[in-house]
C-alpha cells in the first residue's frame, strides 16, 4: 500500500507512532470527573436545578401556579420567566431578528421540552417531585413540523416575525432555471431527506455556578469551547466577560451538539445569584433527547444532468434546512452544504439555494460533519442516480468526474478552495482493497440465483472542510525547573486525545518524554483565548500552535544557552536524549539541560498560530451490505475506508476517530432518526426508540492509509474527526439501494430501516406488475 509521508521526520521521532493515550487509564478505570461528579468546595451547599418543561409543541401559556411546588419538601425557590432578569436572546446572529428565545418561556412554548419554570431544591431527587406540582395551563396552538408547510407561513411560530423563514441563501437571485440543464442528454431530479439525528453523547448537558465575593461568577460546564461559551453567557447576562470564568471538567462527548453555551448555563448562573447559593444542573437523558440541539434535518432537491458518456455537466442542490424552534447553529449548516455541494467533482455548472425555516421542534445545530455530510450525501446519491440511469458503474462515473491532481489548488463553484487531493487514487485504493470486481461478480451470482439475501456495494468519494470556522489558535509551552512541561491549549478535548497528541508534539521538539508533559485546557482564567474543539479543527490549529510554541521555546533556550556554552546560537541544537542544549556535531561537549535554564529564568512561550485557511481532507469508502429482500433488513458486512487527512500524528487516535465516525455514518444510514408526530410530540425520546447502534450492528472496519499533506500549515495536517461519518454514510445508503436496484428501486430515504427497504421493494414490484 503506497504511503505518502508529508513530513520527513527524524528517525527517532515520536510523531507518527502509535502512542497509547495517556488519558485512558483514568477513563477506563475509576472514570472521569464530569461536571456533575465535581466535589469542588466552591459548590458546597449547592442547590439543584430542575426545569419544568413544556409537554406541548406549540401553545400559549395561560397561567403558571407555583404555590404547591413552593411548599414541597426541600424546595428553596420556584422561578418563572417573570422573575428572570434575562432578556430573550437571538441565539444565532444571522437568524431572523424577531426569533428571540426567552430563557424561560413566558407567553408561548414552541417545542416539547422548552423550559417554562425552574425549581431549586436542597437535594437533586426532590426536584422532580416539586416540578410535578408546578401547574401550567396551556392553550394549544397548531404544531409546525412539515418543512414545506412551515414555509407556507400558515401557522407562525413568531407572529412578530411575520414569517417562519429564518434566512435564505441565493433564492431567486439570478436563478438559472431550466436553461441550466439544456445541454444535458440526461437530467434526473429527486427530493431526498437528510434526516434529523440526535448527538446523544454519553454525558448529557450539565452546568454548575457560584458567585464569589469579588462579584465574579464561575461556571463549571460541559462544552466544546470554554472561551466562546464564556462570551456567549456573558452576553446573555449583560455582564463583562472578565467577570465570568468557565471551567471545564472532563467532557463526555459532544459531536458538535456541545458547541458554545446552552441557555441553561445562563439560568444556572442567574439562579445562583438570585438564590445566593451555588446551583447545580445536570439534565436527565429524557431531557437530553428533546433539549439538546439536534443535527442534519435537511430536505434536499437534487438535480443532476450530463451525457451518456458519464460526464456530469450540471448539478443543482436546493436545500430546506429545519432550524427547529429557536434558530441556532443549524442556520449555518446549509452554508457549508452549499459550499461543498459539488464534492470531489469537476462539474462545469453548479447552482445551489438554501432556505432555513423554523418549526415547533428542538433547535438544530452541528452534528459530526455539520453541513458537509449533507452535501456529500446529496452529491453521492446524485452520482448513483445518474450512473443508474445511464447504465454505468458507480465507481467508473466517479473516476470520470473527479478533480484531477494537477488541478489543485482548485476553487469550486461553491467558493471552496481545495488545497490538495488525489481523489481518483483514493477511489482506486478503496476498490483495490475491497476487491470491487470480485464483489460485483458475487452480487451478479446472487441476483441470478434470486437469493433471499442480496449483496449491495456502495461507493462514496468525499471531500470535506476541516478547521473551517476558526483559523486561529494558541498554545503556551512552559518547561519547569523539575524538567516537567505544561502545555496550555485553546482547544477543548472531549474524547479526542489532546493530552496525548499535544504532549507528543511538544515532546518531539523538546526531547522531554510525554509522561512529563501535562496538557491543560478549558479554564478561561488560565487560558483566556481559544476557539475550542469542533469542525475537526484542533490538530491543524491547536496542534500546530503547540508545535510552533515548542519550537520557539527551543530557539529561546538556545539563545540563553549560547553564553553558557560559549557558542554561536546557530551551532546549538536540542539533544533529544537528554533534553539539553548541546553544540552540534560535538559529542561529549558541554550541555545545558532545559530544566536548568528554566530554573534560572522562566522558560515559557506563548504562540498564536493563524492558518488563515481551512483544509480539505478527502477519501473514498466502499461498503458492502447484505439485504434480506424478504424482510428488508440491511446489514453492513464490510466497509473499506480510505481517509486522507494528511500526515498521521498518532495512528491509534487517527483510527479511533475513523472508527467512531464510520459508526455514526452507518448509524445515520441505517438506524437513527429523530421523529416527531404531527402534533410535535417526540416519538424517539428514549434509547429504546432512538436507534443508536451497538457494536453488534457494526462490522469490523477495514482502514486503508493514505497521507497527502496540505500546504496550509507547516506540519501538513488536516482534520480527521468527521471524515469517517462523511464517507461511510453515503457508501452505506448507496450500497443498500444497490442491493435492491435490480428489483426496480432507485432511491430510499434514510434511515434504511427494514420497513422502509421492504416498502420500497414492495412498491417497485407492484409498479412493475402493473
Q: Per-residue DSSP letters for 98-144? A: T--B-SS-SSEE-STT-EEEEEEESSTTHHHHHHHT-EEEEEE----
Q: Is 300 in the site for another protein (CB under 8 A)?
A: no
| Of 425, 633, 658, 718, the one binding another protein by CB under 8 A | 633
Cell triple for 735: 450500497
What is the size of the binding site for another protein (CB under 8 A)? 36
Segment interacting with another protein, rule: CB under 8 A, options 171-179, 459-467, 509-517, 747-755? 747-755
Q: Is 693 in the site for another protein (CB under 8 A)?
A: yes
Q: Is 39 in the site for another protein (CB under 8 A)?
A: no
Q: How far apart are CA 589 and CA 558, in angstroms?
A: 15
Q: Is 284 in the site for another protein (CB under 8 A)?
A: yes
* 73 or 235: CB nearest another protein: 73
Q: Is 444 in the site for another protein (CB under 8 A)?
A: no
Q: Is 696 in the site for another protein (CB under 8 A)?
A: yes
Segment interacting with another protein, rule: CB under 8 A, options 89-97, 290-298, 455-463, 628-636? 628-636
Output the smallest distance, CB 295 to another protein, in A. Answer: 19
Question: What kind and span of H or E run contains 428?
Answer: helix 423-434
Segment interacting with another protein, rule: CB under 8 A, options 278-286, 290-298, 327-335, 348-356? 278-286
Q: Please, are residues 140 and 85 in contact by the beta-carbon 8 Å criterion?
A: no
* 152 or 284: CB nearest another protein: 284
Segment interacting with another protein, rule: CB under 8 A, options 2-10, 176-184, 376-384, 751-759? 751-759
* 276 or 450: CB nearest another protein: 450
Q: Is 688 in the site for another protein (CB under 8 A)?
A: yes
Q: Is 102 in the site for another protein (CB under 8 A)?
A: no
* 580 or 753: CB nearest another protein: 753
Q: Is 128 in the site for another protein (CB under 8 A)?
A: yes
Q: Is 451 in the site for another protein (CB under 8 A)?
A: yes
Q: Is 132 in the site for another protein (CB under 8 A)?
A: yes
Residue matched to cell numbers 476541516: 466
Q: Which residues contact 66 (CB under 8 A, 6 or more apart)?
A: 78, 80, 117, 134, 135
DSSP 480: -
Output the smallest distance, CB 285 to another protein, in A. Answer: 6
Q: Which residues contact 623 (CB under 8 A, 6 or more apart)?
A: 457, 458, 460, 636, 638, 639, 640, 666, 728, 731, 732, 734, 735
β-pairing, 59-65 vs 108-109, is: antiparallel
DSSP 474: E
Cell triple for 632: 428488508
Segment interacting with another protein, rule: CB under 8 A, options 27-35, 127-135, 494-502, 565-573? 127-135
Q: x/- site string to another protein, residues 652 to 681, per CB under 8 A?
A: -------------------x---x------
Maximum CA extent, the chain: 94
Burial (Cβ within 10 Å: 0-12, 13-18, ≥19) of residue 715: buried
Q: Is 689 in the site for another protein (CB under 8 A)?
A: yes
Output the smallest distance, CB 150 to another protein, in A. Answer: 22
| Of 6, 81, 88, 127, the one binding another protein by CB under 8 A | 127
CA dihedral 119, 124, 125, 131 (to 10 degrees): 10
Cell triple for 562: 549560547
Q: Is 684 in the site for another protein (CB under 8 A)?
A: yes
Per DSSP, helices labelled H in 182-324 are: 226-237, 263-275, 285-291
CA atoms within 13 A on the CB side of 369: 34
Q: Is 753 in the site for another protein (CB under 8 A)?
A: yes
Q: Please, are residues 330 and 293 in contact by the beta-carbon 8 Å criterion?
A: yes
Q: x/- site string to another protein, residues 523 to 552, per CB under 8 A?
A: ------------------------------
CA distances from 671 to 202, 212, 261, 645, 684 (A): 18, 47, 29, 27, 12
Phi first, then psi, for residue 332 (nearest 5°) are: -85, -15
* 42 or 446: CB nearest another protein: 446
Output the smallest distance, CB 761 to another protein, in A. Answer: 10
Interface residue list for another protein (CB under 8 A): 124-125, 127-129, 132, 284-286, 449-453, 630-633, 671, 675, 683-684, 686, 688-689, 691, 693-694, 696-697, 753-755, 758-759, 762
Amino acid at each position: 500500500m503506497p504511503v505518502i509521508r508529508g513530513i520527513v521526520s527524524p528517525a527517532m521521532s515520536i510523531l507518527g507512532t502509535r502512542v497509547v493515550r495517556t488519558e485512558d487509564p483514568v477513563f477506563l478505570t475509576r472514570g472521569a470527573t464530569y461536571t456533575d461528579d465535581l466535589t469542588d468546595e466552591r459548590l458546597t451547599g449547592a442547590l439543584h436545578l430542575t426545569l419544568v418543561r413544556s409537554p406541548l409543541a406549540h401553545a400559549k401559556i395561560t397561567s403558571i401556579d407555583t404555590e404547591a411546588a413552593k411548599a414541597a419538601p426541600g424546595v428553596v425557590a420556584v422561578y418563572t420567566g417573570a422573575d428572570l432578569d434575562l432578556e430573550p436572546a437571538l441565539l444565532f446572529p444571522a437568524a431572523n431578528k424577531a426569533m428571540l428565545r426567552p430563557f424561560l418561556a413566558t407567553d408561548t412554548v414552541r417545542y416539547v421540552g422548552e423550559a417554562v419554570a425552574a425549581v431549586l431544591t436542597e437535594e437533586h431527587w426532590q426536584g422532580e417531585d416539586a416540578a410535578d406540582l408546578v401547574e401550567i395551563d396551556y392553550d394549544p396552538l397548531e404544531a409546525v413540523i412539515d418543512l414545506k408547510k412551515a414555509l407556507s407561513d400558515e401557522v407562525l411560530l413568531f407572529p412578530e416575525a411575520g414569517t417562519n423563514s429564518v434566512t435564505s441563501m441565493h433564492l431567486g437571485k439570478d436563478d438559472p432555471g431550466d436553461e441550466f440543464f439544456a445541454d444535458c442528454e440526461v437530467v434526473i431530479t429527486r427530493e431526498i431527506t437528510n434526516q434529523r439525528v440526535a448527538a446523544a453523547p454519553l454525558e448529557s448537558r450539565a452546568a454548575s455556578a457560584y458567585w464569589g465575593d469579588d462579584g465574579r461568577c464561575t461556571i463549571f460546564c460541559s462544552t466544546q469551547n470554554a472561551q466562546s461559551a464564556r462570551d456567549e453567557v456573558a452576553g446573555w447576562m449583560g455582564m463583562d466577560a472578565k467577570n465570568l470564568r468557565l471551567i471545564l471538567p472532563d467532557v463526555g462527548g459532544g459531536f458538535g451538539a456541545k458547541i458554545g453555551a446552552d441557555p441553561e448555563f445562563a439560568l444556572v448562573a442567574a439562579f445562583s445569584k438570585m438564590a445566593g447559593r451555588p446551583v447545580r444542573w445536570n439534565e436527565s437523558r429524557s431531557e437530553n433527547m428533546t433539549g439538546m440541539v439536534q443535527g442534519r434535518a435537511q430536505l434536499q432537491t437534487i438535480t443532476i444532468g450530463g451525457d451518456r458518456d458519464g460526464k456530469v455537466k450540471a448539478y443543482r442542490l436546493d436545500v430546506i434546512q429545519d432550524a427547529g424552534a429557536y434558530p441556532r447553529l443549524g442556520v449555518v449548516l446549509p452554508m457549508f452544504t452549499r459550499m461543498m455541494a459539488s464534492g470531489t467533482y469537476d462539474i462545469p455548472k453548479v447552482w445551489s439555494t438554501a432556505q432555513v425555516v423554523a418549526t415547533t421542534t428542538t433547535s438544530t445545530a452541528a452534528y459530526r460533519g455539520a453541513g458537509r455530510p449533507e452535501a456529500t450525501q446529496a452529491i453521492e446519491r446524485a452520482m448513483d442516480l445518474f450512473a443508474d440511469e445511464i447504465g454505468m458503474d458507480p465507481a467508473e462515473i466517479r473516476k470520470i468526474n473527479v478533480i484531477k491532481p494537477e488541478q489543485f489548488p482548485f476553487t469550486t463553484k461553491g467558493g471552496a478552495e481545495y488545497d490538495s487531493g488525489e481523489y481518483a487514487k483514493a477511489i482506486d485504493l478503496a476498490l483495490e482493497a475491497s476487491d470491487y470486481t470480485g464483489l460485483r461478480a458475487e452480487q451478479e451470482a446472487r441476483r441470478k440465483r434470486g437469493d433471499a439475501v442480496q449483496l449491495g456495494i456502495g461507493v462514496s468519494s468525499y471531500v470535506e472542510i476541516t478547521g473551517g470556522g476558526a483559523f486561529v489558535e494558541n498554545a503556551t509551552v512552559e518547561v519547569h525547573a523539575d524538567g516537567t512541561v505544561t502545555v496550555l491549549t485553546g482547544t477543548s478535548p472531549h474524547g479526542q486525545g489532546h493530552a496525548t497528541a499535544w504532549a507528543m508534539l511538544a515532546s518531539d521538539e523538546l526531547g522531554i518524554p510525554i509522561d512529563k508533559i501535562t496538557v491543560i485546557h478549558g479554564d478561561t482564567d488560565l487560558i483566556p483565548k481559544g476557539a475550542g474543539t469542533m469542525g475537526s479543527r484542533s490538530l491543524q490549529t491547536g496542534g500546530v500552535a503547540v508545535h510552533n510554541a515548542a519550537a520557539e521555546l527551543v530557539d529561546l533556550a538556545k539563545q540563553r544557552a549560547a553564553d553558557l556554552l560559549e557558542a554561536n546560537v546557530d551551532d546549538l541544537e536540542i539533544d533529544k536524549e537528554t533534553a539539553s542544549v548541546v553544540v552540534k556535531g560535538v559529542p561529549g561537549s558541554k550541555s545545558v539541560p532545559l530544566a536548568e535554564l528554566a530554573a534560572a529564568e522562566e522558560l515559557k512561550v506563548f504562540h498564536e498560530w493563524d492558518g488563515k485557511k481551512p483544509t480539505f481532507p478527502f477519501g473514498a469508502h466502499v461498503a458492502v451490505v447484505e439485504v434480506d429482500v424478504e424482510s428488508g433488513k440491511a446489514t453492513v458486512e464490510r466497509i473499506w475506508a480510505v481517509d486522507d487527512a494528511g500526515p498521521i500524528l498518532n495512528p491509534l487516535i487517527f483510527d479511533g476517530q475513523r472508527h467512531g465516525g464510520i459508526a455514526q455514518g452507518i448509524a445515520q444510514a441505517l438506524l437513527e432518526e429523530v421523529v416527531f408526530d404531527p402534533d410535535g410530540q417526540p416519538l424517539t425520546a428514549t434509547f429504546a426508540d432512538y436507534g443508536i447502534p451497538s457494536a453488534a450492528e457494526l462490522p469490523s472496519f477495514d482502514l486503508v492509509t493514505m497521507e497527502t499533506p496540505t500546504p496550509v500549515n507547516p506540519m501538513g495536517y488536516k482534520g480527521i474527526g468527521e471524515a469517517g461519518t462523511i464517507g461511510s454514510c453515503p457508501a452505506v445508503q448507496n450500497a443498500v439501494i444497490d442491493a435492491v436496484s435490480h428489483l426496480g428501486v432507485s432511491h430510499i430515504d434514510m434511515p434504511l430501516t427494514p420497513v422502509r427497504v421492504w416498502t420500497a421493494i414492495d412498491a417497485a414490484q407492484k409498479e412493475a406488475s402493473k
